[in-house]
Amino acid sequence: MFVNAIPLEKGSKKLINAWASYDWANSVYSLVISTAIFPIYYGSLFNEINTVDFFGFSIKNTAMISFVTAIAFIVVSFITPFLSGIADYVGNKKRFMKFFVYLGALSCIGLYWFDLETIYLGYTFYFLAMIGLWSSLVFYNSYLPDIAYLDQQNRASSRGYSMGYIGSVILLLFNLSMVMNPKFYGISGSDYESSMIAMKYSFVSVGIWWALFSQIAFYYLPKGRGDSKFKKDIIWNGFKELQIVFYQLIDNLRLKRFLAAFFLYSMSLQTVLLVAAYFGEEEIKWISTSEKTIGLIVSIIIIQIVAIFGAIITARASEKFGNIPILIILNIIWALICIKAFYIHTPMEFYYIAGFVGMVMGGLQSLSRSTYSMFIPETKDTASFFSFYSITEKVGIIIGMILFGIIDQITGSMRNSVLMFAIFFIIGVFLLLRVPKARSF
């Protein structure tokens, strides 16, 4: 939408803030679509019937959305390595990032037409929105070593996550006010109809917010190096670029061991975050349905707000004690949270757990990103390196969700599944202890 600004120097505060602004832009999807408004809207669509007729097969609605989500993660895991290799070869990863941002933002707007009469179209937009988000993050994350020096990357990563938490809470509060009081915003109809329309407007607001605020990052982030024209045999050369990075990663003991640890604890972290609302809905003893709805929303907001401070505190602590020791401490705290969650029953206990989750959620996510960025060698192939980071995270989510579902199905309780992830966090601690030390990491 705008021409590029005069290139900013690596390490400049303005460039780091511009990079971090994309967290502000995209995090509204994770909170409004993935966590808060869309799950409520989706559940309300199936008040009278809880199955979807999918090409002659009757599939439970919750299973259907899980399948679409899993397939989206699988697609992202397949396409991003090859696209990142091409982006590194061409030298213009911003072009790829823009494509996926606009794909995701437009698909969020398309969710306005997610209805029972247009269910296939709705699932398509939901699928494409996820592709847009998670693919754009590969290229966005890969800019971290390009815009910040080693001693700046912890704080830069933390700033990104903090801005994301703040921005997403602001839009969520606006959307919640619209859903809870649609008449105030001029939305007519019955209480049910006006609330459903307000939720559709929320999806549109996410798409607009995402595309609009992304312009800051697009304006200031470096375009890339050299000739950005698409040359002959670009796919083959992109594959060779990816292959070079793969062999570099295999030969780097520190990176290999860190990714192994990251796979286990990220699988546990992401799965717990994805099922937290469902755990609160099923396992906590709420007095009424309204108390449950409000309680779950309050817990989501608590997590987001506390996560801001968690990310900042973690970045400061890592500068004093090192990244790996702090990651170990965060994993131990996460394991204790999972063990404690096994025993909670009351709303107040759930709020306390939400507070602790927020404190260590932001820290673990931001510090993992910056630690990986610090571990990769000096290279022009940052997108390719971060595609492997992305694959590790996405495959972990897929496996984590499958394990969670299997244990929940066999034992009949989500508590046993959450307890299992405490074990994975502990194993993550032992794997982090095996990461070779280098400088202050």
Q: Any idea what DSSP says for residue 92?
A: -
| Residue 205 Ramachandran class (φ > 0 left, ψ -120 to 50 alpha, else beta) | alpha
Rg of the chain taking only CA atoms, in angstroms: 21
Is position 200 within any domain? yes
Predicted local distance difference test score (pLDDT) of residue 243: 66
Residue 100's closest CA among 143, 141, 69, 131? 131
Q: What stretch of H or E contains 332? A: helix 323-341
Q: How far is it, in rounded angstroms, from Cα 327 to Cα 329?
A: 5
Q: What stretch of H or E contains 387? A: helix 382-411
- Under a CB-based contact definition with an 8 Å cutoff, are residues 168 and 32 in contact? yes
- Under a CB-based contact definition with an 8 Å cutoff, are residues 42 and 61 in contact? yes
Is position 315 within any domain? yes
Predicted local distance difference test score (pLDDT) of residue 230: 47
- Under a CB-based contact definition with an 8 Å cutoff, are residues 409 and 396 in contact? no
Largest CA distance in the chain: 65
- Under a CB-based contact definition with an 8 Å cutoff, are residues 211 and 132 in contact? no
Q: How far is it, in rounded angstroms, from Cα 204 to Cα 199?
A: 9
Residue 65 maps to which CATH number? 1.20.1250.20
Q: How far is it, in rounded angstroms, from Cα 60 to Cα 422?
A: 30
Predicted local distance difference test score (pLDDT) of residue 413: 72
- Return the percentage of the chain with pLDDT > 70, whole number: 87
DSSP of 302-321: HHHHHHHHHHHHHHHHHHHH
Q: How far is it, in rounded angstroms, from Cα 393 to Cα 391?
A: 5
Is position 388 within any domain? yes
Predicted local distance difference test score (pLDDT) of residue 381: 59
Tell me the residue range of the domain where 77 lies.
13-221+233-433
- Under a CB-based contact definition with an 8 Å cutoff, are residues 231 and 36 in contact? no
Distances (CA, A) of 217 to 68, 121, 160, 292: 30, 31, 12, 38
Residue 432's closest CA among 249, 245, 262? 262
Predicted local distance difference test score (pLDDT) of residue 383: 65
Is position 170 within any domain? yes
Predicted local distance difference test score (pLDDT) of residue 252: 77
Is position 365 within any domain? yes
Tokens standing for residue 139: 């290229």
Q: How far is it, in rounded angstroms, from Cα 336 to Cα 280?
A: 18
Is position 440 within any domain? no
| Higher pLDDT pick, 10 / 173 | 173
DSSP of 254-309: HHHHHHHHHHHHHHHHHHHHHHHHHHHHHHS--SSHHHHHHHHHHHHHHHHHHHHH
| Higher pLDDT pick, 115 / 411 | 115
- Under a CB-based contact definition with an 8 Å cutoff, are residues 160 and 221 in contact? no
Which tens digit of pLDDT belongs to each residue from 326-366? 999 999 999 999 999 888 888 888 888 888 888 888 889 88
Residue 250 has pLDDT above 80, yes or no: no
Name which of 209-213, 282-286, 322-326 the model is least confident about: 282-286
Mean of pLDDT over the chain: 83
| Higher pLDDT pick, 176 / 409 | 176
Residue 41's closest CA among 107, 110, 112, 120? 112
Tokens standing for residue 410: 């066999």
Is position 1 within any domain? no
Predicted local distance difference test score (pLDDT) of residue 61: 76
- Under a CB-based contact definition with an 8 Å cutoff, are residues 89 and 238 in contact? yes
Most confident range, picked from 35-44, 181-190, 210-219, 238-247: 210-219
- Under a CB-based contact definition with an 8 Å cutoff, are residues 84 and 387 in contact? yes
Q: Where does the pLDDT of residue 90 fall: very low under 50, low under 70, confident under 90, or very high at 90 and above? A: low
Q: What are the phi and psi torsion angles at 58 (to 5°)?
A: -95, 115
Looking at the structure of the chain, the number of domains it has is 1
pTM of the predicted model as reported, rounded to 2 decimal places: 0.81
- Under a CB-based contact definition with an 8 Å cutoff, are residues 384 and 242 in contact? yes
Name which of 132-146, 182-196, 238-252, 419-433 the model is least confident about: 238-252
Is position 47 within any domain? yes
Residue 68's closest CA among 111, 105, 122, 112? 122
